[in-house]
Amino acid sequence: MARRSALPSVPDAAVLRARLDRARDTAAGTGLVIAPGSDLRYLIGQPGGSFERLTALVIPADGVPALVVPKLEAPGFEGIAQLGVDIVTWVDGVDPYNLAAERLGGADRVAVSDFTPALHVLGIRDALPKAEQVLAGPIVRELRMRKDTAEIDALRKAGAAIDRVHARVGEWLRPGRTEAEVGADIAAAIVVEGHTEADFVIVGSGPNGASPHHALSDRVIEAGDVVVVDIGGPVAEGYNSDSTRTYAVGTPRDADVAATYAVLQEAQQAAVDAVRPGATAESIDAAARDVIAAAGFGDYFIHRTGHGIGLDVHEEPYIVAGNALPLEEGMAFSVEPGIYQAGRWGARIEDIVVVTADGVESMNNQPHELVVLT
């Protein structure tokens, strides 16, 4: 029986109330203004939408949080009253920025969510001209980087769903088809296998596989091609999958594929094995990079080893040189080294992992070997 996507899921009210309290505590006297997006969904369970009319969650240093929202959109947020959040509505002709400023109580410092449209950032600044305005990202990421049990369960669900798609790639990937045709079949399967949508589909065949963010093209897949398939999307809870496997359409035409791929497989496993509480983000990057560099392919590994994942596909923590952040239980991120030989072929192996109390758990369990399709 085909699996179908579910309706969006909202966390328990007690979980959301605790997140709001933690946000206020972490802000430590700074007022917060959170516009629609993943930060808003994390805090109140609903992402909202960003338009020319201001919608924003306002969390004062002291006092009751409020959602400032156009009256015509307020019915979509009625459920947040159980979170202890006031709904402050406004109609066209009323200045919503002054309403937000009033709820902030003349704050000296206001943190605005990172992806708030400039239209609203400047409006808030004008309403509180004496307040220092900073990014809320450093505050909210302290909450979002450490996933709770429900979030990890959602990531497991997403990982299992994308594993089911990778297990079916052989149904569609064959000579004579274009990357776009294969990608369309994969996108449909992403939804059938349990996601609400396909967020991205990369099918990089032959020389296109040497471009890490290649998407889809009309290139016709040929026998002997090495093909990078990087796919993902959100499940009903809003948490994302992101997994890459590399395939060969028949026997690879290039004689060096097997040996080079073996280096990549060793590097990816070394990085996963290095994950544990207390290890730094940069040490995980180094674990993969050192293997690849020692084999002479250092110049062909052209991106960081990983990125955090959750309500966003890319979020903190970033697994990259220079990031000395110690890993903690509950942090979730990708481990995805790659080797890219321009004009020839590329390969990448990617799993999502979560730091456990004594090590690591992978959300993806498809084999890491080069998948040769016959």
Chain segment 203-232, per-residue pLDDT in tens: 999 999 999 999 999 999 999 999 999 999
- The Cα 227–Cα 300 span in angstroms is 17
At 294, the amino acid letter reads A
H or E stretch at 227: strand 226-232
Please count the residues of the chain: 374
**Does residue 317 have a cis peptide bond before it, meaning omega lies within 30 degrees of 0?**
yes
Residues of the chain with pLDDT under 50: 1-6
Phi, psi of 240 (to 5 degrees): -105, 150
- Residue (of 94, 102, 26) closest to 63 by Cα position: 102
Quote the pLDDT of residue 319.
98
Reading across the β-sheet that carries 243-249, which strands appear in turn? 200-205, 226-232, 243-249, 371-373
Between the alpha carbon of residue 320 and those of residues 227, 285, 313, 316, 361, the distances in Å are 25, 5, 16, 11, 20
- The Cα 18–Cα 235 span in angstroms is 23
Between the alpha carbon of residue 221 and those of residues 119, 172, 247, the distances in Å are 45, 11, 12
- The Cα 162–Cα 232 span in angstroms is 7
Give me 371's structure tokens. Answer: 């998948």
285 CB-near residues (< 8 Å, 6+ apart): 271, 304, 305, 306, 319, 320, 321, 323
DSSP helix/strand/coil, 285: helix
Q: Where are the alpha helices (DSSP H) in the chain?
A: 13-27, 38-44, 96-104, 118-127, 137-144, 149-166, 179-192, 257-273, 281-294
Report yes or no: 371 and 249 within 8 Å, Cβ to Cβ: no
Phi, psi of 55 (to 5 degrees): -125, 130
Question: How many CB atoms lie under 10 A from the CB of residue 213?
Answer: 9
Report yes or no: 339 and 292 within 8 Å, Cβ to Cβ: yes
Phi, psi of 204 (to 5 degrees): -105, 105
Side-chain half-sphere CA neighbours of 327 within 13 A: 30
DSSP helix/strand/coil, 170: helix
**Angle of the 149-166 helix axis to the 179-192 helix axis, nearest 10:** 140
Report yes or no: 327 and 277 within 8 Å, Cβ to Cβ: yes
Question: How many CB atoms lie under 10 A from the CB of residue 223?
Answer: 13
- Residue (of 139, 145, 148, 115) closest to 22 by Cα position: 139
- Residue (of 262, 309, 301) closest to 285 by Cα position: 301
What's the predicted TM-score (pTM) here? 0.94
Report yes or no: 233 and 260 within 8 Å, Cβ to Cβ: no
- The Cα 315–Cα 329 span in angstroms is 16
- The Cα 255–Cα 252 span in angstroms is 7
